[in-house]
A and B are shown apart, each in its own frame.
Chain A
């Protein structure tokens, strides 16, 4: 019983991490029907910048100043990254009217970020001490780290915050209007380019915050975002790219299935069930478990 509870806890935390990044995909997709494939590496950027502002890379000790520094650092980094990706990868691609240039452009940005971090920073793996301490506390024998609670709380606030922002504020409604119909929204006086840019900034900032939150649970390294980015994409497909609820469910499915497989089948097949579900979803419900059916007019 204890064991199953531990698996569910570990799996859910992993799932929430996936869902948080998937939420970033969701945001830009809903305004511009594009996905920022560099988001995994933007998340890594958050982890690396947060680490550099908080921990001494050589000794592994804390630099000694407040946790506020890394928080401000990743917020600024996220905004800059979002603006830059929109300006240099998305805008030119959308102008070209080519359907998929942005796929390659954002993938390229991701590779550039990763290589730049490897060159400028380090290719090593480093421990990020949690500001809340690294001693797990126990509920019914299950070890849970304080950082994991923090992650779940912040992730919930972000997802609900952004969803309510979209629903209840006038700016949020503008985002929704653009997502429904760009041209009409433009005619109604909504600056659609602005809205798209803001969605990119928001999504990149969420990713850098995710990086800061995830870092103490994993290690900080230039490659920490690569597989997370891919799995988060799988989560958005499973859950449905346009549904906040779907992402959380999709994340939990993927995270928990990984841990159950590792425990009861084999650690080598850990990722298998998640991707089987992914294929089944694509075959049976291509818009995701919670996705709206899209009609594309040609």
Chain B
């Protein structure tokens, strides 16, 4: 009896191994719970839609894709643990994610160590091209508008509208201060000097002192960098002061925790976007939105940018693996750096998105200004 059981187990395990042979694991991680969850969950949904399509069409290299997803809870240390698990235990072919800059910076070293390509699909602040200095053979890629591009789009948007006296207001985290530095540099290159530079802390709820100082300095536009709740507090403080000034800031202004928290005070606020759900025109975009709605019964998408970038990151990976004709990390990386196929995605069309020296797929031309209008993001006029 015992012997039978033993053989049955062996049979099972060999069978399981057979099953593994024709599947390919892709790791996906991000915050699926907590304050950044709208971005994490939307990104995962985007990847899932792409995987379902790819599997229905026969998979990659005749193998079915299996997503291994892990919740990093937006905690830096979880990012490292998850990467080790994905790379050492699950032996994934590639990794997609994460969302938070801190999590990304704490985990990308593992992809470089293990030589497994990783495409960051949401984090704007994570180091990507900066990693070439320490890792000439860099396995980290990004499909998301990084802080450099965002700052340029924000400042260009302001200067193009004729504003000459911008006030900068950013949170005091790495994210906000990094954004401030980049916006200042971008303004300098346009020959404009901010009349006021201020900051606020996470959880601050009354920004009237900072805004008064900006107003007294004669500011004609407010450029902000931070995350949803505090930026919503900036908007309500503007109403308290009865100061009607245009506000342009980081892409986080498109997140639901800005839009719902600011309510009607948020109307007219502008931010850089790679994808605007309500302005979708191409068949690919319309199909994506319809599929998303059908599969997750969610409209509008909690974080449409994250979902679209999640979807596109999976397809870029698919093209690279097919071109490499292998699941070997180094070969996939080489293929990503020299993609021959043109990809028409949800966030734009990509021809040779990456090179050996540039791992950023999103360029300034892929980014447009969105605007909050009655609880949704529309294309800015």
For the complex formed, measure the closest distance between the CB of B293 and the CB atoms of chain A, giving whole angstroms: 17
Determine if A123 and B35 form an interchain contact, defined as CB atoms under 8 angstroms apart. Answer: yes
Given contacts A14-B206, A60-B260, A259-B209, is CB(A125)–CB(B239) below 8 Å? Answer: no
Determine if A125 and B257 form an interchain contact, defined as CB atoms under 8 angstroms apart. Answer: yes
Chain A interface helix/strand/loop/mixed: loop
B148, CB-defined interface residue at 8 Å: no
Q: Which residues of B contact A118 (CB under 8 A)?
A: 34
B213, CB-defined interface residue at 8 Å: yes
For the complex formed, measure the closest distance between the CB of A133 and the CB atoms of chain B, giving whole angstroms: 12
B2-48 residues with Cβ-Cβ distance < 8 A to A are: 33-35, 37
A262, CB-defined interface residue at 8 Å: yes
Query: Within the complex, which residue of B34, B205, B239 is in contact with A219, where a contact is CB–CB below 8 Å?
Result: B205
A189, CB-defined interface residue at 8 Å: no
Q: How far is the CA of A99 from the CA of B60 in the complex (A)?
A: 68
Determine if A124 and B209 form an interchain contact, defined as CB atoms under 8 angstroms apart. Answer: no
Question: What number of residue pairs across chains A and B have CB atoms under 8 A from each other?
Answer: 89
B212-233 residues with Cβ-Cβ distance < 8 A to A are: 212-213, 216, 228-229, 232-233
Count the B residues whose beta carbon is within 8 Å of the partner chain — how many?
Answer: 32
Determine if B241 and A262 form an interchain contact, defined as CB atoms under 8 angstroms apart. Answer: no
Determine if B242 and A267 form an interchain contact, defined as CB atoms under 8 angstroms apart. Answer: no
For the complex formed, measure the closest distance between the CB of A166 and the CB atoms of chain B, giving whole angstroms: 33
Determine if B239 and A7 form an interchain contact, defined as CB atoms under 8 angstroms apart. Answer: no
A268, CB-defined interface residue at 8 Å: yes
Look across to chain B and name the residue whose beta carbon is closest to the beta carbon of A7: B209
Q: Which residues of B contact A129 (CB under 8 A)?
A: 263
Interface core residue of B209, B216, B229 (most chain A CB under 10 Å): B209
Q: How far is the CA of A221 from the CA of B228 in the complex (A)?
A: 13
Q: Which residues of B contact A126 (CB under 8 A)?
A: 257, 260-261
Q: Which residues of A contact B199 (CB under 8 A)?
A: 267-268
Chain B interface helix/strand/loop/mixed: helix
B208, CB-defined interface residue at 8 Å: yes
Q: Which residues of A contact B35 (CB under 8 A)?
A: 122-125
Q: Which residues of A contact B240 (CB under 8 A)?
A: 136, 143, 145
Binary interface encoding of chain A residues 202-231 relative to chain B, with 1 for a CB under 8 A from any of its CBs, else 0: 000000000000000111010110010000
Interface core residue of A118, A123, A221, A264 (most chain B CB under 10 Å): A123
Q: How far is the CA of A221 from the CA of B233 in the complex (A)?
A: 14
A6, CB-defined interface residue at 8 Å: yes
A127, CB-defined interface residue at 8 Å: yes
Q: Which residues of A contact B236 (CB under 8 A)?
A: 134
Binary interface encoding of chain A residues 252-295 relative to chain B, with 1 for a CB under 8 A from any of its CBs, else 0: 00000001101110111010000000000000000000000000
Determine if B212 and A125 form an interchain contact, defined as CB atoms under 8 angstroms apart. Answer: no
Determine if B261 and A263 form an interchain contact, defined as CB atoms under 8 angstroms apart. Answer: no
Determine if B257 and A124 form an interchain contact, defined as CB atoms under 8 angstroms apart. Answer: yes
Given contacts A138-B242, A145-B240, A227-B203, is CB(A127)–CB(B208) below 8 Å? Answer: no
B195-212 residues with Cβ-Cβ distance < 8 A to A are: 198-201, 203, 205-206, 208-210, 212
B137, CB-defined interface residue at 8 Å: no
Q: How far is the CA of A30 from the CA of B102 in the complex (A)?
A: 45
Binary interface encoding of chain A residues 113-125 relative to chain B, with 1 for a CB under 8 A from any of its CBs, else 0: 0000010001111
Q: Which residues of A contact B210 (CB under 8 A)?
A: 262-263, 267
A10, CB-defined interface residue at 8 Å: yes
For the complex formed, measure the closest distance between the CB of A274 and the CB atoms of chain B, giving whole angstroms: 14
B344, CB-defined interface residue at 8 Å: no
Q: How far is the CA of A126 from the CA of B33 in the complex (A)?
A: 15
Query: Within the complex, which residue of B201, B208, B216, B229 is in contact with A221, where a contact is CB–CB below 8 Å?
Result: B229
Look across to chain B and name the residue whose beta carbon is closest to the beta carbon of A14: B206
Binary interface encoding of chain B residues 88-125 relative to chain A, with 1 for a CB under 8 A from any of its CBs, else 0: 00000000000000000000000000000000000000
Given contacts A141-B242, A217-B205, is CB(A267)–CB(B229) below 8 Å? Answer: no
Q: Which residues of B contact A135 (CB under 8 A)?
A: 239
For the complex formed, measure the closest distance between the CB of A4 and the CB atoms of chain B, giving whole angstroms: 10
A1-40 residues with Cβ-Cβ distance < 8 A to B are: 3, 6-7, 10, 14
Query: Within the complex, which residue of B34, B208, B213, B232 is in contact with A124, where a contact is CB–CB below 8 Å?
Result: B34
Interface core residue of B208, B216, B229 (most chain A CB under 10 Å): B208
Having A126-B261, A219-B205, A263-B212, one finds 8 other A-B pairs with CB under 8 Å, namely A7-B212, A10-B206, A10-B208, A124-B35, A124-B37, A127-B263, A218-B203, A268-B199
16 residue pairs from A and B, CB less than 8 Å apart: A3-B216, A6-B212, A14-B206, A60-B260, A118-B34, A124-B37, A124-B257, A125-B229, A126-B260, A217-B205, A218-B203, A219-B229, A227-B203, A260-B209, A263-B213, A270-B209
